[in-house]
Amino acid sequence: MKIVVQRVSQAQVTIGGKTVASIGQGLLLLVGIGPDDEAEDVNYLARKVLNIRIFSDPEDKMNLSVQDIQGEILSVSQFTLFANTKKGNRPSFTEAASPQIARKLYQDFNKILSKILPVKTGEFGADMKVSLVNDGPVTIILDSKNH
């Protein structure tokens, strides 16, 4: 499981020109699920996302988590994080989980997060437009297989 974590001052998802989710200060998560991912990966990365200290404290040091600041979370499914670009110029996505597996694990991930903070989402499998104002910019890549 891979997640691109972006500290944002705002972010939103639109589908077909209609805004389906938006947040203020918090985290935009681009979430990719691999074929070997399971509950352990979901639990590990949910804990990591909730506790990673990438928000500034009063001394302007990255020392606070999204929980500490009572920030918002926007979670967007992103199978393209598992793109294989080794051969040719057209990415292959065979290293991403099947939609059935990915949908369940993505939903499980969001349920864990939502026990702590409200979570807004895009629509799994939809053609989404994601806009954001990256604060910092701060972008962190988390990988459950590389910890």
In the block, tokens 């499980």 appear at 108
Compute CA 6 distance to the chain's CA centroid, rounded to the nearest angstrom.
8
Instruction: Catalogue the active-site residues.
Output: 78-80
In the block, tokens 């979670």 appear at 75
Residue 61: CB partners within 8 Å, gap ≥ 6?
none
The half-sphere exposure of 46 on its side-chain side, counting CA atoms within 13 A, is 20
Q: Which two tokens mark 120? A: 């807004």
Q: Which two tokens mark 113? A: 């997060």
Give CA–CA dist 64/52, Å, rounded. Answer: 8
Query: Any idea of the CA torsion for 52, 138, 93, 126, to the nearest 10 degrees?
Result: 90
